[in-house]
Amino acid sequence: MFSKTRVTENRPQQPASSDSEPAPAPAAPAERSSSETLPTAPARAPSAPSVLSSDLKVTGNIRTEGDIQIEGTVEGDIRAHQLVIGNSATIKGEIVGDEVVVHGRVVGRVRGLKVRLTATARVEGDIIHKTIAIESGAHFEGSVQRQEDPLASAGTKKLAPPSAG
């Protein structure tokens, strides 16, 4: 499927329709390729995820429209398109993403369309999801709630809050 797309993109550039324009070719194909690239591939698809290494400690919130992989420590909320919590990572705060994969430790709420806890995951908090997968060996302490759109439920506070009175 990749070669078909690339072959299709290469064929319009190779035909003799622009044979008389070899000198202006760099300007013309650049305009064509940018107009062809925008509809076929979103900006975040070709970019690699941002990585926070294991020796990095962040205090504060992180927000991105792209993908992020965290190996270090974050004390604050994280919002991303795709979020991977690495084996050495510790998160203290809420994490929100379209796709959330947890290999490390999370203390706080997890909200995502797809949530996956791997065998090395340790989660202490509530999980609000559309689909969830919990591998054998994962440690989870909290509640799980399925919602059709868990990302829109920002108003949902902690599940079953204790009544002080």
Return all residues near 17 (Cβ < 8 A) that are at least 6 apart.
none
Answer yes or no: do 70 and 137 share one domain. yes
Within a domain: 162: no
Answer yes or no: do 112 and 141 share one domain. yes
Provide the strand spans (E) within the chain.
Answer: 50-52, 57-59, 62-63, 67-70, 73-75, 78-85, 90-92, 95-102, 105-107, 110-117, 122-124, 127-134, 139-141, 144-146
Q: In a structure prediction context, what are the per-residue pLDDT tens digits for the chain, which is 165 residues long? A: 444 444 444 444 444 444 444 454 444 444 444 444 444 444 445 578 889 999 999 999 999 999 999 999 999 999 999 999 999 999 999 999 999 999 999 999 999 999 999 999 999 999 999 999 999 999 999 999 999 988 886 554 544 444 554
Within a domain: 164: no
- The domain in which residue 77 lies consists of 50-152
Instruction: State how many domains the chain has.
Output: 2
Please give the Cα distance from 35 to 49 (Å, whole number): 24
Within a domain: 165: no
Answer yes or no: do 55 and 9 share one domain. no
Within a domain: 58: yes
Within a domain: 26: yes
Structure tokens that stand for 57 in this block:
């400690």
Scanning the structure block, which residue is given the tokens 């599940």? 159
Answer yes or no: do 30 and 63 share one domain. no
Please give the Cα distance from 55 to 71 (Å, whole number): 8
Answer yes or no: do 36 and 54 share one domain. no
Structure tokens that stand for 34 in this block:
């940018």
Answer yes or no: do 70 and 17 share one domain. no
Within a domain: 137: yes
Within a domain: 79: yes
Within a domain: 158: no
